[in-house]
Every structure is written in structure tokens, then in C-alpha cells.
Structure 1
Amino acid sequence: MAAIAALLLGGVPAVASPVDSRVVSPAAAVPDFSTAEAGNPFVDGWYADPDVAVYDNRYWVFPTSSRPYDEQTYLDAFSSTDLVNWTKHPNVLTTAGVSWARRAVWAPAPVQRNGKYYLYFGANDIQGNTELGGIGVAVADRPEGPYKDAIGKPLIGQFVNGAQPIDQDVFIDTDGQAYMYYGGWGHANVVKLNADMTSLGQFADGSTYREITPANFTEGSQMFKRNGKYYFMWSEDGWTGPNYAVAYAISDSPTGPFTKVGRVLSQDAAVARGSGHNSVITVPGTDIWYIVYHRRPLSRTGANDRQLAYDRMTFNADGTIAPVTMRVKDNFNDNNAIGWTTYGGNWSTGAGRYETGASFGGKALLDTSFTDFTQDVDVTPRSAGGDAGVVFRATQASTGTDSYRGYYAGISGTGKVVLGKADNNWTQLGTAPVTIRPNVSYRLRVEAVGPAIRVYVNDMVTPKISVTDTGYGGGANGVRVFNTGAGFDNFAVAHR
């Protein structure tokens, strides 16, 4: 299927699949993460509607370019061998290679078969059956394309059962039968694909289209199979709003019936909004699953302000999917700082760390807004003076020593840990002696629950500082230095 990537455990021989050639040879390491450990979004730029495949030991993500419709004339792709380091492949498909497509090129769905690479896509956002557009299929000799129109016209170019022909997903079952799931405007259909992958087949009753619309379906069809059960996923509510979310159903058949089980991914007011239009990745030979989706940063309201993310997806004993947690982590192993915004200082990434030279208050923040949380980071001060540490519950950030409203906890080579709050000035709330040496890494933790704030250094049992302060209730999380350079690693924030 278009949304399941295949990566075998190291030491397990690869087995060629007669129905889906995306099964790949052994990899050096199986990605076993709680989230995108090197940070979400995992690639730079505005993208949406990701679908995935694995070709020749490499993960591929094919998203929509999140821009105004008339500018959506191309598709980019991203590839990775480890789900950490990503390579951009621009313009894998453009409207120049599809005679009938002119705009609104959406939701690519990749699959490999017959020695070729197929990419299914929506184009033109047709509003009725008198317009030219719908779902097309392009083909290439390589995963990165260039993909060219395979049939010279839409594969599905009409509204059937009320379903707008968009947001397709392709699934190849274990018996070799390929299906396409698609639809918008609140209706979903499934069709069979013939073995050529460029024409539609028929069901046993002679029909071509079968409606499978579950409750509250909007768009974004997705299908995968686990333990003999078929999981149909879709997106609910409006794609421009904060409540865009992913729901699912389970069936014994690839054509349903599909009765809604519930939502599995929704917005988190501390992390991101509008989380939806997903695909899934599984690691064959394990029960490791990820959900890949797009979401909108908290500080952005534009319809096209969407970014790509992935998080761990787990199953309950009865086969239902546990609600997905959008986790906030960054170990900088991808050697970038996508998602971070800096205010002063000279920041860079390298050797799996986030580094900055000395400055008076240079800080870097994530677009988060946690209230009660635990925040961790490994801090390596670069000099015996000054201090370096974490910012939390921060708002109104700008460049300057104390130019934000929020809290800061830092460690100093002068032999102390300090906690205070800023509002274009500095108020110290607590300090404690700690042995700190330059170029040595220390684990710094802050726990904040309501007005109670605790600061830990290395020892995560006994806090070095424990205070009560009602100054700030929520805001962004990040890191900061004062009069020293520092390296930061293994940053994480989680709800309490």
C-alpha cells in the first residue's frame, strides 16, 4: 500500500514480495523512536498530505506543496535511510509532465509495481463533472522521477457517490489485488486497480465504485493491514482549522463495512493544531508503527502554514489504536534546527548538538505553549563564567538580555544553578551550589506544575531549587545563554 514503508530488522533476510516490491533488504539499524527524535517538523518548508513508501532501503515521503492552489504546480519528495536525515528531491512531478493538470496538485500516493514507480495525485480541484481534473497517475523509472502522465487523462475524473476525486491512497493486499481509496466533500469510495495500475477494475457484482463513507468523513483516505484486520483512516473537520484530526475504522474486509472506532490524532494546544491527513509506516518483522501527518504551528493561522511530522503509533491488546501523543523532542542528530527560532546569539548545529557562542541573553525557542510540564536538556557550558540553561513559559520574546516574559533556569561555571524570571528585567527566584566545569555535559531538568517550579541538575530525584511563583502560567520552551557559549542536546518537553 502507498502508506506502509517496509524496512526489515538487521539480520533478517529480505524476502521478495510477489505483490509489493517495496519490501527491502536488511538495514543497519531499525528505527525505534518515540517520535521524530531529531525534531518535528522533520523537513523544512510548508508541506501537507504526506504519503510514504520504501524503495531500496530508503524511506520516501511524498507530500503536497502547501501553497495557494494556483502555485501548486509541482510535487517534491524527501528520502531517508534512517528517518532522521532527509534529502530533498525537488519537482518529482510537475504540471509540465501532465497535459491536463494546471493547478492544485495534491496528496501524492506512491507505489512500486511491474518494475515501475507509480505516483497517484489529484489535480485542478474540480467542483463538478463539467470540469477537467480529478485523480491522475504518473509513472517513472526511478523513485525521484521525473514522473510523467501515464494515460493522458484523469484516471478518475468525475464525482461518483458524491465523492470529489481527491486524496487517494493505494493499497495492495496480500492476494495481489490493488485498491484505491479516495474522496472529499464528505464521501469516500474504493475502487479496484487492474494489474497494469493505470486502469480501474470491477467488483464481483460488476460495479466499479463502492461507497465506504464512515461517520464524519471529510477527506484524506488511508488504508493499512495489521494482524489480518483492515484499518481505514481518514481526516475529519475542516483542513484550515485547528480541529482537523485523524479518525479510523477496522474491518475484516478491504472494502468494509467501515464503522468508526474513534479519533486517534488531534490537536494539542501545547504543541500544534490542525493535525491530520496522515499516512503510516511499519517496520516489518516488528510491531513498530509511526503515523506521518501534517500540522499547523501554534503561532501560525494561515491555511497553508502546514509542516510534516511523525510520531509513534501503538496498538491496544484488542487491536484498537491508542491515541497518538505529539511529542516534543530534539536530539539534533539531523544537524539542523528546523522549528527553532533564535533571538540574539550565534546559533549553529553540528556533531548532534545545538551550539551558540557567548552572548548576553541569546535564546532559541520552539513554537510550544506548555503549562504543566517536565523539560529536559543536556547543557555543556563552554566557559567558567556566565550560565546556560532553559527558558520556559516564555512569551513576547525578542532580542535582548531579558527581553521576554517567562522563566529561566541555568547552570554556571562559577558553581551554581540559578532560577529566575524576566520581563525586560531580571528577578532571581532561587540559587544553589553545584559543581560545574566547562565542556562537561550536565542534565538539566525543570518541572513546573501550577506555581510550583523545581530545578534538577544530574540528580533527577532531589531538586536543587524548589520555589513557588505565580508570575507566568504558560508559554514557549527553549534554551538560553548568558555570557558564555554552550552546547545543547537531547531536548524534550512533556506534559505532566
Structure 2
Amino acid sequence: MIFKRLIQKNWMSLSLILLCLQCILAIKTKAQVRIGNPILPGYFADPTIIKEKGVFYICATIDPWGDKELGVFTTKDFVKFDRQHINWPTKQVCTSPSSNTSMVWAPCVLKGKDNKFYMYVAVGSELWAGVSNTPLGPWRNLKADNTPLVKYTDFPLVHNIDPECFIDDDGQAYLYWGSGYNWVNGHCMAVKLKGDMVTFDGIPVDVTTTHYFEAPLMRKWHNKYYLMFSNGKATDATYCVGYAVGTSPLGPFIEEKNWKILETNADSTTIGPGHHTVFRENGQDYILYHRIFPQNKAYVLRQLCLDSLDFDNNGHILKVNTNRGVKFSK
């Protein structure tokens, strides 16, 4: 009789445990949401993203081809987005006579080791840098004389756009930028930054790889430095994302055999993907990029998209599957 009661008691305990596990799994499943592309309505490009206090901040170029401000969105789950105003630029005007001085594009926003926020952005064909106490500003120019960080005359052979700032594990910051003219001869410049996040610590070096054209992105994985970039023409299906690997933030960088990891797919549901950023959430890397929206216009409109970024056992980046969508925890 006692033995029978013990069995009944243990069975009830086991049943209760199984019921709790089922509830936990149900909650976990409910907390997962599948994200399709594009992730939000409207036409935007060249995204950057940071997370602060549980909120993601996405800044991007407003299409077609820039505006007097940036497109800014906040989200916690990549399902609901709120449009914001970032208060940038204020009085920044490109000094190049050949550029549209009112257009701002291709931002990079990150949090510094001093817990302040830094933005590097292209205005016309020049680079500007700002600092703020919050991701949305207000921003002030990092240069006291309110001049560009990189003027169009500083590197005549380089189209001085697409800035990217990277902070290494030791706190050292590096700046990357550069494109080409008329869709050829892209150059990638790189330089170490001093503690003020704006003064060059040394002379910028050219770290251009074989297929680099524009939109540099630096990340560190597997104790190596991955220089990611866009190749091709941003107005058609040739635009794509590639990468090279080095042992130093300043290179040299060697492209992998399978260097191209994001491109127009076979059914053309994704056309001309490029100018991306990468972030990590819950142990998974994600790639946020733009793709071309097909339309009969004289100009190109682009949409923001999100996919998973994965590696093989040797640290090679795998081809991005743009038809899979991503699961994201709410």
C-alpha cells in the first residue's frame, strides 16, 4: 500500500514537471516571431544599428539617394517600428562644388568606451563626425571649428563617403571609408583614431581589396578582422556583399575564395542587396542591408531587409539565404 502511494506521488510530481516544461516551451515558442523582408514600409538604404536599454535604433539614408536628414526608427522586436527624429545634420554643408550639399547619407552610429554616442556620416562627398549623450541627439560636431572630418580635397582619388567606425577589444577606435567614381576604382581608407574619436593617429592607409567598391564594415570574429564591403553597381542586380580577412584592423586583408556572401538570388525576390551592417542578439549574428525595389523610375528606391549571418567551423561566412527569413525573440 505504501509502495503504491509512493508510485502515485512520484507520478503526480513527474506529471507536474512535464506540464511546467510544456508551458515553458509554449511561452518560448510564442516569444519567437518570424521576420519577413522588407522589415518596414518605405524606402531607405545604407543602414546602421545600435541597441541601448533594450531598444534598437536604426539610422539610414532616405531614398531616393539621401535627404536633408536621416531616416531613424526605433524597435524592440522588429515588428513594431516608431519613426524618430535624430537632429542631424544641423549646419553641416559639403564644400565640394560638384556635390549636392543638402544631402546626407550612409551613417555609422556606435557607443564609445566613454558611454557617449558617435555618428560618422556623409554629407555630399565629405565625412562629418558628431557626438551625443543619447542615440537620438542632440548632436554636436566633434570638430570645434565645425568643419568636415574629411574634406573632398583631402583624398582626391577617393569618393569620401560611407564612413564606418570600429572599436577593438582593447578600446582602440578605427575609421574606414571610401568609394569610387562612376562605379569604378573604389578605394577603402583606414586610420587609427585618437581618444577624442576624431583626430587621426597616423596617416590613413589604403586597404582596398580586389572586389572592394564601397560601404566598408569592420567586425572581429574568431580572433580575426573581417573587412566586409559592397561590390558592383548600386543601381542594378550586380550589387552584392563580400568580405576579406586579416590579422590586424589595418590589414592587409585577403579575400576568401567564396568572398561573395549576399547577392541577387535566383528568383530575383532579392535584387542588388548591399551596404549592410551586422549585429548580434541572443547568440545569433544578423545582417541588416538594403535591396532594390523594382520600379519603372529614373532613380532607384531601396528597402531595408534582415537575415541571419552564419559561419562554418573554419570561420568562413556562409552564403546568406534571403528566402529563409529570421526568427527573432520578442
Distance 1:215 1:29, change over 3 A: farther
Q: How many residues align?
A: 286
Alignment pair present for 1:112 and 2:111? yes
Give 1:74 shift. Answer: 0.6
* Superposition map of 1:133-282 within 5 A: 134-151=126-143, 152-157=146-151, 158-160=153-155, 162-185=157-180, 186-202=186-202, 208-261=203-256, 262-268=259-265, 269-282=267-280
Aligned to 1:312: 308
* Superposition map of 1:340-489 within 5 A: none
Contact 2:306/2:325, CA 8 A, preserved across alignment = no
Q: Structure 2 CA distance, aligned partners of 1:278 and 1:68?
A: 16
Q: Give the counterpart of 2:287 among 291, 294, 299.
A: 291
Give 1:115 shift. Answer: 3.6
Give 1:199 shift. Answer: 1.7
Distance 1:306 1:223, change over 3 A: same
Aligned to 2:22: none
- Summarize deviations over 1:156-178 as a string: whole Å, max 9, x none: 11343832211011100011110
Q: Structure 1 CA distance, aligned partners of 2:297 and 2:274?
A: 15
Q: Structure 2 CA distance, aligned partners of 1:146 and 1:76?
A: 15
Give the letter for the 1:315 counterpart: F
Distance 1:196 1:54, change over 3 A: same
Give the letter for the 2:134 counterpart: R
Give 1:254 shift. Answer: 1.0
Whose strand fraction is larger, Structure 1's or Structure 2's?
1
Contact 1:76/1:93, CA 8 A, preserved across alignment = no
Contact 2:244/2:254, CA 8 A, preserved across alignment = yes
Contact 2:93/2:102, CA 8 A, preserved across alignment = no
Bigger shift: 181-190 or 114-123?
114-123
Give 1:196 shift. Answer: 1.1
Give 1:300 shift. Answer: 5.5
Aligned to 1:43: 40
Q: Structure 1 CA distance, aligned partners of 2:326 and 2:215?
A: 28
Distance 1:242 1:300, change over 3 A: farther
Q: Structure 2 CA distance, aligned partners of 1:259 and 1:330?
A: 30
Q: Give the counterpart of 1:80 among 75, 78, 82.
A: 75
Q: Give the counterpart of 1:57 among 31, 36, 54.
A: 54
Give the letter for the 1:45 counterpart: G
Distance 1:66 1:84, change over 3 A: same
Aligned to 2:15: none
Give 1:29 shift. Answer: 8.3
Contact 1:161/1:187, CA 8 A, preserved across alignment = no
Q: Structure 1 CA distance, aligned partners of 2:150 and 2:287?
A: 27
CA RMSD of aligned residues (A): 2.7
Aligned to 1:98: 92
Could you tell me which runs of 5 or more consecutive residues in structure 2 were left unpaired when the two chains were aligned: 1-26, 96-100, 181-185
Aligned to 1:324: 320
Alignment pair present for 1:66 and 2:58? no
Q: Structure 1 CA distance, aligned partners of 2:211 and 2:83?
A: 35
Give 1:78 shift. Answer: 1.4
Distance 1:300 1:42, change over 3 A: farther
Contact 2:46/2:61, CA 8 A, preserved across alignment = yes
Contact 1:271/1:297, CA 8 A, preserved across alignment = no
Give the letter for the 1:324 counterpart: V
Give 1:155 shift. Answer: 0.7
Give 1:225 shift. Answer: 0.7
Give the letter for the 2:57 counterpart: W
Q: Structure 2 CA distance, aligned partners of 1:301 and 1:318?
A: 44
Q: Structure 2 CA distance, aligned partners of 1:260 and 1:117?
A: 32
Distance 1:55 1:97, change over 3 A: farther
Aligned to 2:124: 124
Contact 2:59/2:107, CA 8 A, preserved across alignment = yes
Secondary structure at 1:271 match in 2:
coil
Give 1:82 shift. Answer: 2.5
Contact 2:92/2:123, CA 8 A, preserved across alignment = no
- Summarize deviations over 1:180-209 as a string: whole Å, max 9, x none: 11111111010111111122212xxxxx11
Give 1:44 shift. Answer: 1.9
Give the letter for the 1:121 counterpart: V
Give the alignment's TM-score, normalised by structure 1. 0.54
Give the letter for the 2:109 counterpart: P
Contact 2:44/2:71, CA 8 A, preserved across alignment = no
Give 1:222 shift. Answer: 0.3
Q: Structure 1 CA distance, aligned partners of 2:253 and 2:285?
A: 21
Give the letter for the 2:108 counterpart: A
Give 1:267 shift. Answer: 0.8
Contact 2:245/2:253, CA 8 A, preserved across alignment = yes
Q: Structure 2 CA distance, aligned partners of 1:100 and 1:245?
A: 28
Give 1:213 shift. Answer: 0.2
